[in-house]
Chain A
Amino acid sequence: MRRYVVRRVAAFAVTLLFVSVLVFVVVRVLPGDPAELILGTERDPATAERLRESLGLNRPLAVQYAAWLGGAVRGDLGTSIQYDVPVGRLIVSRLPVTLPLTLLAATFMIAVAVPLGVYAATRYRRGADYLAMVVSQLGIAVPSFWSGLLLILFFSVYLGWFRSGGFDGWASGVWSGIKSLLLPAVALGLFQAAVLVRATRSAVLDVMREDFVRTARAKGLPERRVIALHTLRNAMIPIVTVIGLQLGQLMAGSIVLESVFALPGLGRLALGAISARDLPVVQGVTLFVATTIVFINFAVDLAYAFVDPRIKYD
């Protein structure tokens, strides 16, 4: 196990280094100059030059990268060009929105999709199965910004149960925080839930054709026990794999929904930073998200061993 963890951490470091080089190069290759975006169309060329100088954008790319990497290793991600605030602080200030939003969406996704997928598999090629497949197809076809707007129209404008957007913070109470994240979490989780229903259904169907399931049935176990103990447990590996991938996609998906629901999260921070060419913020957020996703993958690998005791990491 220890050797496995060491190997994973090494792979983890290489991945992040690769991501950091990629992001660093991509944001600089993009046409568009931060100094120009700050000063706008009426800018004076000499002022733009001075600004570029003070932002350190005139130095060779390799020097800029080395300086940035040196800082990042020590935990200093630089200072936002737009806000003049340390990038690390900006990221931390957005986490109380994005993390609970992603977690809520994931909870919604798993709570809806796994039971529905299992149910559809047990009703294979019957009415309920077809219905579940049609609904999930719809969920895949509807883009999340659109389902977000529909949810706002129904629950905020028509029923008035929820706020139409914005976030007051957790200081005003846990329920008020959850209330402002619930609709975006549902909109965010809906698409991924639709994908997960299909994945769960096919994983369960595969296992249901196995000999040991037939044996379980033959020895007279009730169907509920066959599904819960024998089938689902064995179908968990592909399901957990899909969930792991989806957690990363939920984080990425929050970029769109945070705009629709006007939430001050990481996604909107990244979006604003890209259009303003706030390079340190773009790099910082990307690195943070990449780290999180690598961590999730790591957690998924560990979960395999938990789900299937035959898997050992030596």
Chain B
Amino acid sequence: MRRTVVVLVLAALTLGMVAATAAQAPRALVVQTGTEPPGLDLTATPASATAAVVLYNVQECLVKVDESGKIVPWLAERWHTSDNRNYTFFLKKGVRFHNGRELKAADVKFVVERAMNPETKHPYPRYYEAIGDIIVKDDYTITFSLKAPTANFLLNMARQGSVIYPREAVDTLKSAPVGTGPFTVAEWVRGDRIVLKRFAGYHTKGLPRVDQVTFRFIPDPNAALAALKAGDIDASLFGLGPEHVADLRKDGRFEVIVGETTNDVIMAMNNSRKPFTDVRVRRAVTHAINKADVVKLAMFGLGRVIGSNVDPLNPYFVDLAGAVPHDPAKARKLLTEAGYPNGFEAVLRVAPQYYYTVRAGEVIVDQLAKVGVKVKIEQIEWGQWLSRVWKEADYDLTIIGHAEAWDIANYANAKYYYRYDNPKFQELFKQSEVTLDDKARRQQYAQMQRMLADEAPVVFLFIHPRLVVAKKGVTGFWKDLPIPSANLAEVGWTAPK
């Protein structure tokens, strides 16, 4: 009898332990990112490395861009506008900052007024230009009255520069930002890692799914791959190259997520410099490039070919990938018509900091040579690229990814480094900014995209893919990336490590 009891007790203990181990999924996550944020203040830097860590993880906005790119209520549980000039937001009650204080409408007013103040050196003052008055009606109701209808007002309130923080924490924004997000910043070991801890008072019940997230900065893609394979990190968020995908897909230990981003990679042509002033030359260059081959050779087949500016995550996206197809014979014909029967010479300036620019450049140089356009690649460092290409437009050709969503405005700006000056396009864009009827605006966007495909101010190449590789059992990552946030609130373990 005694023996039976002992055996039973032992069995129960063993089963209990097994059950406990099985039920207890790990509560910590180590993720890799390639670039260390230059600072954690989203109101002082446009760096996507900062947004990756802070946006939606530590600080949040009145409204949020969801996985599909749609704007949804967030710190404001709803909003209302009857004339598209006065937007009233109704704040969610009981939302607390990490310092324990409740979020009130006065905080929102303070934050937006601070962004509008030129002295604060906010990186995107133009997003708040349209705001006239900000009226706090009560603790949970705030109205923005705009000087003129602005179609992108809600989007601007969801962007990384519009995060809400308590006024008493302004001084710590750069190194220890306080917000309402699911995590608090626990530690930042510069050069090595940022540790986020679960915020127990988070306003959405059940989230976040883990107690701690460590962002490790591993700049070298091969080192990131080794860290993943050695089990030192649970997921790689930003940094692995497309060349690693085939191998990792075969490895049963990992889950590979390939999705869309808003990062459209283009080859810009200097529209103010001969021969690119001639639309026939620009079309010829576009016809000469086999974009599918560029994606295949430079991106290992990952990345979606595009034909115009708007990205597939944008609700107004029109697929124009085939609008100017690969046609070397037509390219030669157009070059002859433009007075360049033997082609011409040009320099392609690229910044190797972005690996895809050099790789795509090498493929394109080869393709252009086949129609007589002789291109020399010149690699320059990122700081120089910003200064020479982007600021002074001192270039013939360049390749770069534009990660910002809704950036068609750049083509309406004749001073932008494309130097594309088309009054018709500029007028159409101006109209689209004040058109609030969705159907009419969709038509204007479609028209703008077609105009860009036809005018070819740049060669629209492909969408840079989102690439996340995680250990099996880690779930909750967004497939697509409509905004540069790692968005880890819903990420957690479904199974033990």
A-side residues, CB < 8 A to B, are 30-33, 36-44, 46-47, 50-51, 54, 82-85, 90, 93-94, 145, 149, 152-153, 156-157, 160, 163-167, 169, 259-265, 268-269, 272, 275-277
> Smallest CB-CB separation from B41: which chain A residue?
A84
CA–CA, A165 and B121, complex, Å: 37
CB of B190, distance to nearest CB on chain A (Å): 6
Contact A41 B386 (CB under 8 A): yes
Given contacts A32-B384, A38-B45, contact A165 B226 (CB under 8 A): yes
Interface residue? B39 (CB, 8 A):
yes
CB of A261 within 8 A of CB of B223, answer yes
**Minimum Cβ distance to chain A for residue B466 (Å):** 20
Contact: B191 with A166, CB < 8 Å? no
CA distance A42 to B178 in the complex (A): 25
Residues on B with beta carbons closer than 8 Å to the beta carbon of A160: 230-231
Asked whether A262 lies within 8 Å of B175 as measured between CB atoms, the reply is no
Asked if A152 and B226 make an inter-chain contact with CB atoms under 8 angstroms apart, the answer reads yes
Which B34-54 residues sit within 8 Å CB-CB of chain A? 36, 38-39, 44-47
A47 CB → nearest B CB, Å: 5
Separation of A44 and B391 alpha carbons in the complex (Å):
12
> Would you call B83 an interface residue if the criterion is a C-beta within 8 Å of the partner chain's C-beta atoms?
no
Closest to A277 in B: B383
Closest to B382 in A: A275
List the A side residues contacting B381 at CB < 8 Å.
Answer: 32, 275
Residues in A whose Cβ lies below 8 Å from that of B344 = none
Residues in chain A near residue B123, CB distance under 8 A:
39-40, 42-44, 47
Evaluate contact between A165 and B190: CB separation under 8 angstroms. Answer: no
Does any Cβ of A come within 8 Å of B227's Cβ?
A: yes
Within 8 A of A (CB), among B312-343: none
Closest A-chain residue to B126, C-beta based?
A44
Q: What's the minimum C-beta distance from B310 to chain A, rounded to whole angstroms?
A: 17
- In the complex, what residue of chain A is closest to B189 when comparing beta carbons? A264
A42 and B382 in contact, given A149-B226, A275-B353 (Cβ under 8 angstroms): no
CB neighbours (8 Å) of A259 from chain B are 219-220, 223
The answer to whether residues A41 and B390 also contact, given A260-B220, A269-B191 and a CB cut-off of 8 A, is: yes
| CB–CB A54/B121 < 8 A | yes
**How far does the Cβ of B120 sit from chain A's closest Cβ, in whole Å?**
9
B109 adjacent to chain A (CB < 8 Å): no
B190 touches A84 (CB 8 A): no
**Residues 217-232 of B at the A interface (beta carbon under 8 Å):** 217-220, 222-223, 226-227, 229-232
CA distance in complex: A268, B190 (Å): 10
Most buried by B among A37, A39, A54: A39
> How many contacts A-B (CB < 8 Å)?
143
Residue of A nearest to B127 (CB): A42
Distance in Å: Cβ of B52 to nearest Cβ of chain A: 14
Interface residues on B, range: 35 or more
Show 9 A/B contacts (Cβ-Cβ < 8 Å), sorted by A: A31-B387, A42-B46, A47-B118, A149-B226, A165-B226, A166-B192, A262-B218, A272-B191, A276-B383
Query: Is residue B124 contacting chain A, with contact meaning CB distance below 8 A?
Result: yes
Q: Does B424 contact A (CB under 8 A)?
A: no
A275 to B386 CA separation, bound complex (whole angstroms): 11
Which of the residues B122, B387, B390, B391 comes within 8 Å of A47, measured between beta carbons? B122
Question: For the complex, what is the distance from the CA of A153 to the CA of B125, rounded to whole Å?
Answer: 47
The contact string, 1 if C-beta is below 8 Å from chain A, for chain B 117-142, is: 01101111110000000000000000
Residue of B nearest to A54 (CB): B121
Q: Which of B39, B220, B384 contacts A31 (CB 8 A)?
A: B384
- Cβ of B216 under 8 Å from chain A: yes
- Any chain A CB within 8 A of the CB of B174? yes
Q: Is B404 an interface residue (CB 8 A)?
A: yes
Nearest B residue to A36, CB-CB: B386
Within 8 A of A (CB), among B326-379: 353
Residues facing A in B87-133 (CB within 8 A) are: 118-119, 121-126
Interface centre among B45, B227, B384 (most CB of A within 10 A): B227
The answer to whether B387 touches A33 (Cβ under 8 A) is yes
**Residue in A33, A44, A276 whose Cβ sees the most chain B Cβ within 10 Å:** A44
| B126 proximity list for chain A (CB < 8 A) | 44
| Residue B203 is within 8 A (CB to CB) of chain A in the complex | no
Which residues of A lie under 8 Å from residue B119 when comparing CB positions?
Answer: 50
Residues of B within 8 A of A37 (CB): 382-383, 386
Beyond the given pairs A44-B124, A262-B217, A268-B191, 11 more chain A to chain B contacts, judged by CB atoms under 8 angstroms and listed by A's residue number, are A42-B124, A43-B46, A149-B223, A156-B230, A164-B226, A165-B218, A166-B218, A261-B223, A272-B36, A276-B38, A276-B383
The residue in chain A whose Cβ has the minimal distance to the Cβ of B30 is A166
The answer to whether the Cβ of B388 comes within 8 Å of any Cβ in the partner chain is: yes
Residues of B close to A32: CB separation below 8 A? 381-384, 386-387
Contacts of B118 in A (CB 8 A): 46-47, 50
- B 212-246 binary contact with A (CB < 8 Å = 1; else 0): 00001111101100110111100000000000000
Nearest B residue to A156, CB-CB = B230
Residue of B nearest to A264 (CB): B191
Beta-carbon contact of A262 and B220 below 8 Å:
yes
Contact of B232 among A94, A149, A163, A167 (CB under 8 A): A163
Report Cα–Cα, A135/B5, bound state, in Å.
Answer: 67
Residues of A within 8 A of B216 (CB): 166, 262
Top-3 shortest CB links A-B: A32-B383, A264-B191, A264-B192
Which single residue of chain A is at the shortest CB-CB distance from B394?
A31
Q: Chain A's nearest CB lies how many Å from the CB of B406?
A: 11
Q: How far is the CB of B13 from chain A (nearest CB, A)?
A: 31
CB of A265 within 8 A of CB of B191, answer yes
> From residue B208, how far is it (CB to closest CB) to chain A in Å?
23
